[in-house]
A = this chain, B = another copy of it.
Amino acid sequence: MTFMNPDRAAVIRQLVNPRSVAVIGASADFSKVNGRPLKHLIEKGYGGEILPVNPKYREIAGLACYPDIASLPHAADLAIIALPAALVCDCVLQLGRKGTRAAVIFSSGFGEMGPDGKALERELADTAKAARVILLGPNCLGFINAFENVYATFSQYADGETGAGPVAFVTQSGAFGTAIAALARRRGLGLGYFVNTGNQADLDFAELMMAVVEDPRVKVAAGYLEGISDGEALVKLAQNCRALGKPLILTKVGRMESGARAAASHTGALAVSDAVFDAVARQYGILRARNEEQMLDMMEVFCQPRRAGGNGLGIATQSGGAGVMMADRAEEVGLSVPHLGTQTQAKLASVMPAFGAAGNPVDVTGQFVARPELLSESVVAMLDDPAIDVAIVWLQLMTGHVDALLKIFAEIRDSTEKPFLVCWVAAPETAVKGLGALGIPVFSAGERAVEAAAALARYGQSKRKADVGPEKSRLSPPMPTAPSGVQPTVEASALLAAAGIPMANVALAGDEDAAVALWRGNGGAVALKVESPDILHKSDMGGLILGVDSEAAIREGYRALVSRAKENMPKARLSGILVQEMSQGHVELVVGVSRDPVFGMIVMVGLGGVLVEVLKDVTFRKAPFDRHEAALMLSELRMGAILDGVRGKPAVDRDEIAELLAKLSQWADAMAPRLLELDLNPVLVGKSGPRVVDCVMILNDAPPEASSR
């Protein structure tokens, strides 16, 4: 990852804000892909130097046109390449020779076009590296820096008015991204940057976003993703956005991706990549928008500067039904719609004596047309209530009263420091524009306003979490030297126990007498289990017997397990029989670690038994994380109430489970070079805390550095 290289960062900054732009293969036909950037650069008033290159012209639109790159008077900060694919590599070489360090490649015919294209793209990447040119693309629409009027693009989006604004929008899709940008424009949301990454032969999404989000004029980062290859870079981006105090809104398609990855462990099978992405988003405060509409709604709410201090939503509405609908949605998306304090209620009652209900939602009816103070005073009273962190005002049409209402909303804005949103259904265009001018976010539907308010609240929570800061991993356990593959239970268990994971005591018996001796040493009932590197799921083949507590039973059990193994899995190598202390616990958890190809070591926790199999009630985090984050994991389980005691069972201690998860995450992070998959299943939790009853650990080959230690 070249992400943190300061030189590279400087060149990216130069790419998005060049003092001069060369257009290689420029056309005088401004309707063409290779003419459009020139048109926009000229017409929209780019202040730098524009350098067309094409042997066919002496000049284009009054600009001197150069026959080739070598003839340019000096190296351009940025080159736009609009040539056939076959000519691109040579062009990059020439640019490098001339001293140009950054290029945007519109040309298609690379990775998107089968194996030959992929090979050409690899050649391009290698050429660029050797020539010391960084690349945006190929097969991309290019980018717009609307602050400096840099139009290095042929996107349709550039055809309209592209007023600069506080949003940086980076998209992996050209077509969808252009549509989203156009919708943002229709809503009056200014895009300071519009960047299409294309095939990402060199610069990828995270690097580009990082470059533009650092611009102090940018207040909101929004991205559209179709796939991620560098998870670390995305996490780093999220952390930087958090440090900058700028929300990072991402839409990623592929929610249902059914993870065709082969995985030996349950954890691997459950950790399909979208669920992992979703967990990482929660963990690092990324605001995930499920589709383009939600992304635009989030842009809208974050373009105003106020943030929510908590999740209390106040609703003022002109329609009782709309109020109920919004309150319902609020509950679904994690907001509360709190009762108002007695002081607030008294204030509301004095403002609206005729209306009995001074609750939340507040029904202000349509009377405020005659008495504007009704609306402003009631909304301000509501926002003044300490339980309220953000408010939504719902109204509809009011075609004849736009000016009066805009005045009211300006008053409300000036009378409070808390954020409030307007949902104006079937709003006149003047109303939407007017609210935009006042810096008040406006939505077209109640549920969408609620979702945007929830994003504000979520952002506040994540910001507070960041202020606390994650615990650093303090573990540096010795790297195991065992060969790769499934690890023997006793050894695996010892590794985990050393890391502070509460493992049930277990030992391996090579014969009946040894088993009897271990039972005697244990002093109480034991479990007998088949041990074999070839049998991962012991219970599936009858490979365990529980609660054995006499010499005769131990001997009988030993023989039974050996014969079952021979019968059911004749080719399995048998290591012996495990003798394990019995564990108590009325809650069954599944805990595991898997290695995600994008995000690395991922820890999973879920409720065991049938719940994990059918409901897949599991959740994930990227390792390492602390106990606070682990507690959040537990709160995400749909059946999490089981932990607090149901059907007469006592509650278990969530903190002890969180402790286990955090320790495991730190160990897994340290073990990343060797740990492939880990299942702790089941983990029984009872009065005395969690106890890991079975574990399957799979290591891979030691990396060269590790083995040379």
Asked if B397 contacts A179 (CB within 8 A), the reply is yes
Asked if B256 contacts A396 (CB within 8 A), the reply is no
Asked if B613 contacts A399 (CB within 8 A), the reply is no
Asked if B446 contacts A291 (CB within 8 A), the reply is yes
Chain A 160-185 near chain B by CB (<8 Å), digits 1 or 0: 00000000000011111011101100
A366 lies within 8 A of chain B by Cβ: yes
Q: What CA separation (Å) do A224 and B226 show in the bound complex?
A: 38
Shortest Cβ gap from A393 to chain B (Å) = 13
Q: A183-B425, A366-B175, A426-B179 are in contact. Are A324 and B646 (CB under 8 A)?
A: no
Shortest Cβ gap from A106 to chain B (Å) = 14
Asked if B179 contacts A610 (CB within 8 A), the reply is no
Shortest Cβ gap from A365 to chain B (Å) = 8
Shortest Cβ gap from A225 to chain B (Å) = 8
Asked if B224 contacts A332 (CB within 8 A), the reply is no
Name which residue of chain B comes closest to A183, CB basis: B426
Asked if A224 contacts B321 (CB within 8 A), the reply is yes
A186 lies within 8 A of chain B by Cβ: yes
Q: Which of A481-489, A620-628, A634-642 lies on the face that meets chain B?
A: A634-642
Asked if B647 contacts A613 (CB within 8 A), the reply is yes
A254 lies within 8 A of chain B by Cβ: yes
A477 lies within 8 A of chain B by Cβ: no
Shortest Cβ gap from A269 to chain B (Å) = 15
Shortest Cβ gap from A144 to chain B (Å) = 15
Asked if B646 contacts A396 (CB within 8 A), the reply is no
A45 lies within 8 A of chain B by Cβ: no
> Which of B157, B254, B293, B610 interacts with A646 by CB under 8 Å?
B610
A interface residue count range (under 10 / 10 to 19 / 20 to 34 / 35 or more): 35 or more
A306 lies within 8 A of chain B by Cβ: no
> Which of B186, B224, B397, B447 interacts with A426 by CB under 8 Å?
B186
Shortest Cβ gap from A42 to chain B (Å) = 21
Q: What CA separation (Å) do A540 and B647 show in the bound complex?
A: 8
Asked if B324 contacts A253 (CB within 8 A), the reply is yes
A396: which B residues are within 8 A, CB to CB?
175-176, 178-179, 182
A365: which B residues are within 8 A, CB to CB?
175
Q: Pick the most buried of A292, A447, A648: most chain B CB atoms within 10 A of its CB.
A: A292
Chain A 303-318 near chain B by CB (<8 Å), digits 1 or 0: 0000000000000001
Q: Pick the most buried of A224, A325, A642: most chain B CB atoms within 10 A of its CB.
A: A325
> Which of B448, B610, B641 interacts with A614 by CB under 8 Å?
B641
> Which of B176, B324, B638 interacts with A319 by CB under 8 Å?
B176
A256: which B residues are within 8 A, CB to CB?
327-328, 331-332
Asked if A647 contacts B610 (CB within 8 A), the reply is yes
A255 lies within 8 A of chain B by Cβ: yes
Copy number in this complex?
2
Q: What CA separation (Å) do A399 and B445 show in the bound complex?
A: 26
Q: What CA separation (Å) do A175 and B364 show in the bound complex?
A: 12
Q: Pick the most buried of A159, A610, A646: most chain B CB atoms within 10 A of its CB.
A: A610
A320 lies within 8 A of chain B by Cβ: yes
Q: Would you list which residues of chain A between 275 and 319 have a CB under 8 Å from chain B?
A: 290-293, 318-319
> Which of B254, B293, B448 interacts with A328 by CB under 8 Å?
B254
Asked if B328 contacts A255 (CB within 8 A), the reply is yes
A174: which B residues are within 8 A, CB to CB?
319
A226: which B residues are within 8 A, CB to CB?
320-321, 324
A173: which B residues are within 8 A, CB to CB?
319-322
A356 lies within 8 A of chain B by Cβ: yes
A318: which B residues are within 8 A, CB to CB?
175
A609 lies within 8 A of chain B by Cβ: yes
Asked if A156 contacts B399 (CB within 8 A), the reply is yes
Q: What CA separation (Å) do A446 and B180 show in the bound complex?
A: 12
A6 lies within 8 A of chain B by Cβ: no
A615 lies within 8 A of chain B by Cβ: yes
A114 lies within 8 A of chain B by Cβ: yes
Chain A 448-459 near chain B by CB (<8 Å), digits 1 or 0: 100000000000
Asked if A291 contacts B639 (CB within 8 A), the reply is no
Q: What CA separation (Å) do A175 and B610 show in the bound complex?
A: 48
Name which residue of chain B comes closest to A176, CB basis: B319
Shortest Cβ gap from A424 to chain B (Å) = 9
Q: What CA separation (Å) do A157 and B425 show in the bound complex?
A: 13
A254: which B residues are within 8 A, CB to CB?
324, 328
A332: which B residues are within 8 A, CB to CB?
256
Q: Would you list which residues of chain A between 322 and 346 have a CB under 8 Å from chain B?
A: 322, 324-325, 327-328, 331-332
Q: A366-B175, A610-B647 are in contact. Are A445 and B321 (CB under 8 A)?
A: no
Asked if A445 contacts B114 (CB within 8 A), the reply is no
Q: What CA separation (Å) do A81 and B366 show in the bound complex?
A: 21
Q: What CA separation (Å) do A614 and B639 show in the bound complex?
A: 6
A-B contact pairs, 18 of them (CB 8 A): A173-B320, A176-B321, A176-B322, A176-B396, A176-B425, A178-B397, A179-B396, A182-B397, A182-B426, A253-B324, A256-B328, A292-B446, A609-B647, A610-B642, A610-B647, A614-B639, A614-B641, A614-B642
Additional 6 contacts, C-beta under 8 A, given A175-B396, A179-B319, A256-B327: A173-B322, A179-B397, A183-B425, A291-B325, A291-B446, A291-B447
Residues of chain A having any CB pair with chain B under 8 Å? 114, 156-157, 159, 172-176, 178-180, 182-183, 186, 224, 226, 253-256, 290-293, 318-322, 324-325, 327-328, 331-332, 356, 365-366, 396-397, 399, 425-426, 445-448, 540, 609-610, 613-615, 638-639, 641-642, 646-648
